[in-house]
Chains A and B, each alone.
Chain A
């Protein structure tokens, strides 16, 4: 096993002594404990599971009807992707592409990269590093949750003017957001290095 490890909290490098069962290594500076190597794999597994769930739910979330709007007896069912296509067709390029990027492309990329990082161990770690960096950057811009907030605002604001009904995609959407959040929270970049060393 590797002997020297940086504390994940303060970054101080320690030499890890041989540990008996039911013992743990603790940082001398900040007092945080070093995770035993096995537990990292559990975290990675959890990340992978959540990422898989988010990936599976992502498709119904964007393809199934998300809103049913009835305005002056006109009934319209639209999915997220359908709405974006409608926006682009109408010529609202800016709004359409912003929504497309931030609520479809970036979240999907983030989920896919999380999946890759947590599942595909065959990747070389230099690739993993690149992937991690991309994921960290893209993750900032993946704004599915903001989209959900927009729906909520619409429901509250337009409730009296327009008749609303949320479609089945909303359930998928909410769960997808939750799952991708769980995945990114439980994702521990240290696993990448641990397994390959």
Chain B
């Protein structure tokens, strides 16, 4: 607009005409020399106002779609941030921004910044947890920087030798207070998995070469770990903090004897040199072993923090005391193995199936012995129509006329086409075997058995037992199930631990470790092993 008005020669090329023309819509009039060559253009109003231009094309729909998409993409890529957590570490070990926080092997957060603290004595790592891992920011949670550690006792954190460092997390108290500032550990805690178990203190005159992370063994099996050691307040002895894992806390008793298994024991005598060592690991790291004599009637469990003396050597008397007394200081209830044949007829073709299950021998109201077992094997045969198998925790009561001398009972069940029982009789050679009732709810426990049976409120430490045939005499075997491995699922407590094939235990009574009463029946169905606890209707 401000360009100087320069007269254009008539030979000005066509493509430059735009530049040379003057302002205004009806500007043609101001160019007389141009009008001489070409006819004068008509004067026209500006037709396209911006609003008229918009929405003339279908492309606007595409533009709208693009705008929506852009909005959605932006929305999606805004990270849903969890809580921010600040961790102070004494040493950074090369931690960098972008490194991960890992809990149970997966990333649960990211390091946002690593800075030196104001007093230059430690580093401050600011991290952001993923929303799902927000629960980790609790009082008692421990953080440490995972770095490669290689020693005679083992290797840890080797992946960080080549790759990036990461921050390890161990949740201490799942119900602790929320917290956002933590003091990181300088090294990984020996008990990374955290949770459960009982911490005890072992007092000894000298350390005996036991190191942090050394195993605590029971008859050579690792059942715990040394967490730390420190001098006792009067500096006259050493206190070793040890933890017994949750699966083995039952092994602890107030009479437990601990001794050191560290190092090598060398006997040089006339017969030559004898070397004694517990395991290669205890030579390097040291170790503590213990035995418990359950002879005493004192059944009180060991409280966390209980102080034990750590002896230098194993006293053979402990071994004999511990081995002569069984771990279970109560008598197992009488169990029987039920061996049966089930005769079913389907579409007129009769079939014979054999089954093996376990039962508990109880005394009925009427005085005669009865058997409690899972009903599905005997009463409700697997439906032939392919319906889902249902495990009913109801108990079956058999009335047995005579006292049992053998631990095996033989039964046979007949079923018709519809799966209904026509004839369910205990076909035992011995006289007096009759059905008493079956499928009764647990509320109808025989009154005579209230000493033996109990209705449990929630999962507890328990064991299952069954009879086994040995050449000499029938005896019982048992299998421990920890409360930690029981999961309440509807009416059943499913066993989550992998305890091997538990099918032979079907129907076995479940005995509480607390008061030694029978609290349910073990069932091993298609959905896995479970405990059917007694219930009151």
Contact = CB atoms under 8 A, between A and B. Distances in A.
A17 to B, nearest CB: 13
Interface stretch (A47-55, A90-98, A100-108, A156-164): A47-55
B526 interface: no
B74 interface: yes
A9 interface: no
B451 interface: no
Interface in A156-187: 167-169, 171-172, 175, 179, 182, 186
A68 B449 CA distance: 66
Given A76-B98, A168-B77, A193-B18, A50 B159 contact: no
Contact of A197 (B23, B44, B56, B57): B44
Contacts of B69: 57, 171-172, 175
Given A45-B53, A121-B48, A124-B1, A57 B21 contact: no
Nearest to B160: A73
Interface stretch (A21-29, A58-66, A134-142, A143-151): A58-66
B41 interface: yes
Given A60-B74, A76-B98, A126 B66 contact: no
A144 B163 CA distance: 33
Interface residues of A, number: 55
Contacts of B52: 41
Interface in B329-357: none
Nearest to A79: B77
B18 A126 contact: yes
Nearest to B61: A49
A3 B98 contact: no
Contact of B14 (A6, A41, A43): A6
A162 to B, nearest CB: 13
| Size class of the contact patch on chain B | 35 or more
B60 interface: yes
Contacts of B14: 6, 11, 13
B275 interface: no
Q: Binding site of A, secondary structure by majority: helix, strand, loop or mixed?
A: helix
Interface string B28-71: 00000000001101101011111011111111101101110110
B46 A45 contact: no
A1 B77 contact: no
Given A3-B39, A50-B63, A125-B18, A60 B46 contact: no
B165 to A, nearest CB: 10
Given A2-B44, A65-B77, A124 B23 contact: yes
A126 B23 contact: yes
B270 interface: no
Nearest to B53: A45
- The interface centre, meaning the residue of A42, A48, A129, A179 with most chain B CB atoms within 10 A of its CB, is A48
B1 A74 contact: no
Contacts of A124: 1, 23
A20 interface: no
B76 A168 contact: yes
B252 interface: no
B461 interface: no
Contacts of B38: 4, 13
A120 interface: yes
Given A53-B66, A56-B67, A76-B98, A45 B57 contact: yes
A50 B521 CA distance: 72
A44 B55 CA distance: 10
A122 interface: yes
B3 interface: yes
A49 B73 CA distance: 20
B164 interface: yes
Nearest to B98: A76
A126 B70 contact: no
B53 A59 contact: no
B49 A121 contact: yes
Given A52-B63, A53-B63, A196-B25, A120 B50 contact: yes
B162 interface: yes
Contact of B53 (A48, A167, A172): A48
A156 to B, nearest CB: 24
A48 B54 contact: yes
- The interface centre, meaning the residue of A3, A56, A122 with most chain B CB atoms within 10 A of its CB, is A56
Nearest to B49: A121
B50 A121 contact: yes
Contact of A3 (B25, B41, B55, B107): B41
A152 interface: no
Nearest to B51: A121
Interface in A30-47: 41-46
A111 to B, nearest CB: 12
B63 A119 contact: no
Interface string B90-118: 00000000111000000100100000000
Contact of A126 (B19, B62, B166): B19
A142 B42 CA distance: 39
Nearest to B65: A53
Contacts of B39: 3-4, 15
Contacts of B49: 121
Given A57-B69, A60-B73, A129-B18, A122 B50 contact: yes
B59 A126 contact: no
A52 B54 CA distance: 11
Given A50-B59, A53-B63, A124-B1, 7 more contacts: A11-B14, A41-B47, A48-B54, A119-B53, A125-B21, A129-B18, A168-B73
Interface of B: 1, 3, 14, 18-19, 21, 23, 25, 38-39, 41-42, 44, 46-50, 52-60, 62-63, 65-67, 69-70, 73-74, 76-77, 98-100, 107, 110, 159, 162-164, 166
Task: For the complex of A and B, list the 7 residue pairs with the smallest distance between their C-beta atoms, beginning with the closest.
Answer: A45-B56, A49-B59, A53-B66, A53-B63, A46-B57, A45-B57, A72-B163
